[in-house]
Each structure stands twice: as structure tokens, then as C-alpha cells.
Structure 1
Amino acid sequence: MVIYEVLRLHPPLPLLVPRENGEKVELNGYDVAINTRVIVKAWAINRDPRYWVKQEKFYPERFLDCSTDYSGNYFQFIPFGAGRRICPGTLFGMTMVKLAIANLLYHFQWELPFEMKQKGIDLTESLRTSRRRETAPRLNLIPVLYDGAT
């Protein structure tokens, strides 16, 4: 649920790969001609208030009893695209992310450095092609080996 929510708020690419539409369509009152290059903004779709309650809030529980997934079948959540142009590395990437996070959480307890505990973390984002924090792009954590006794 946490991984899905992170992908919803911060898709790997905010703008999907450009494509050409194959037929003339009307979209929100605009006529889009055939063979027009279209760029889909996944970032805006994943935060659309028509589909997401409290869309700006980090709320992983929204995926608890939800059938929506990242496979491209649900157009309100498309972090990797959809249809024939979905990212071919989606399954491999998601498997590796889940495996890496599971290993890191299993073996370590994570703590903030003292100075970050005192002043907190500024989560303001910069406006770039890929999203990152504006002030300090790195989050420094201290890994403490989990011994299992505590």
C-alpha cells in the first residue's frame, strides 16, 4: 500500500512517453486531430480529485480495499503508462523495489540524525522532470542493525 501511494504521488516520470492518437476525438470540448502528438501528464491523473479523496495527502490505506493497481487497467492510476506502451520493466522494477524494501526493513531499524530530529524534514518539492525535494535532495538516515532481541 505504501509503494502504491508513493507511486501515485510521485510517478517515475510525471509526463508519459509522447504518442500519436490514431483517430479524431473530442476531449473536454476540444477537437484533437488525427496523428496529433499527445503527452499524458500522469502526475495530474494520479492526483485527480474526481478519483481520489484527499488527493494531496499521503494516505496508503486508500489501497487497502481497492482493486486499482499499476497494470494500466485503471486509468486513474497510471504511474507506468497503459496499453501497448506500458513500461516493459514494470514487473521487474516492482519486484526489485519490494524485495529491496523488505530486506532493508527486516535487517535494520532506521533513525534520523540528531540535527534532523531537532529541525524536522522539509518535504517541499521542486518542479523538474523528475520530482525531488527542494531544499536537501538527500534523506540521511542512520541504520541500526536489528538484533531481534528488542
Structure 2
Amino acid sequence: MEMILLPISHPVVVSLFLITSVFLFFICSKSSGKTKPLPSPPSLPIIGNLHQLGTHPHRSFRALSDKYGPLMLLQLGRVPTLVISSLDMVREIIKNHDVAFSNRPKTTATDIFLYGGKDVAFCSYGEYWRHARKISVLELLSLKKVQMFQFVRDEEVTLLIDRIRRACDGDSRVLVNLSEILISASNNIVSRCILGQRFAEENGRSMFGELSRRV
């Protein structure tokens, strides 16, 4: 009997190597923990528990919490996610462990559009966040600043009402998408207060709103 030797670059050899590596990785990761692991439903490689969420995630979370308890760990892709469905536990976290849960997740979108997550809403908790929050409260959200931009809100609300009235008047009535025009109005208010100008609109849709939806 002759022995058949496959080259190391053969697809069969590569596939066996990858399957073995993934299997050993999961075995080692589960056995290396020194503390008792949190309750967690069985997960699949790469996607984790994403396949168990379904079209109504809130119902899926409820069903999983009924089975695995009010505190469970889900693997959403490569991101471990702690799911808490107990009001008492939520109160405990907010009251006594709020600092430990204050950081924001880092994503590719925040790294690209917010210069590495430097925005006050997405940066990690720390000295930089406290300084940015202080500046935001004093320079953007103080009573004086809010009253200073009252005319911007009044003008945009007037334009919003006129736009709806024009769409309803006359014989050439058109379908009004309230969600789109409300998003456009709120985006224009923010952009005028921050940048001093309105964002251009295309077919009644704010370009800024379209960018935020894609992000």
C-alpha cells in the first residue's frame, strides 16, 4: 500500500488545520477561566449567538433570560455582551458600579468620523471625558446658550409647518413623510447652532440625515 502525501498548501490540509485550530481555541478559552463562568447559551464560531436573536431581539432576550437567568453572557459576533434583565441588578449597577460600565464600545465608524472616538458621547470615561463634558455643558447646553439660539428653532419650525402646508394645499397634493422632514428639521437646527448653516436637501431629504443613517 502506498502512502499518499498531500502538499501543505492543499485545500484539505488547510481546512483540517483551521478546523483543529478553532476547536482547540474554544476548548482552551473555556477551560482557562479561573472564576465560574456566567450562564451563556451555546454559541457558534464567528457569529456567536446572533442566530438566536431573531427578528424581535427584545422577545429573544426575554426567552433567553427565562432559561439562563437574569444575568447572562452572549457572544454577538466577536463582542462579548453582558445582558441584564433584572431591575434589582440594574439598580445595583447604576448606583454602585456605574464607573465600571461607563465606557463606550469602540467601533470603526467612531474611529473614522470622530477622530478615534473623541466625541463626548462616544469617548471612554476618564479625565478627557470629564473635560469635554464640562465644555459642552458650559458652552453648548447652558441656559444662556440655549436662549441665544431660540430664533434658529423658531425659524426651522416655521419652515417645517410651511413645508407641510404646501404639500397639502392645491390639487397637486403629495405624500408627506413626517419622519423624513422631522429628521431634516432637527438636523438643520443642530447644524445651524454648531456650524452656522443649513445642510443641503435632495428630494426633501437632508444630506446630513442620510449620512447619519448610513453610518
- Fold match, TM over 0.5? no
Instruction: Tell me the TM-score normalised to structure 2 length.
Output: 0.25
Q: Which has the higher contact order (CA 8 A, sep 6+)?
A: 1
Instruction: Tell me the TM-score normalised to structure 1 length.
Output: 0.32
Q: Could you say which structure has the higher helix fraction?
A: 2
Q: Could you say which structure has the higher strand fraction?
A: 1
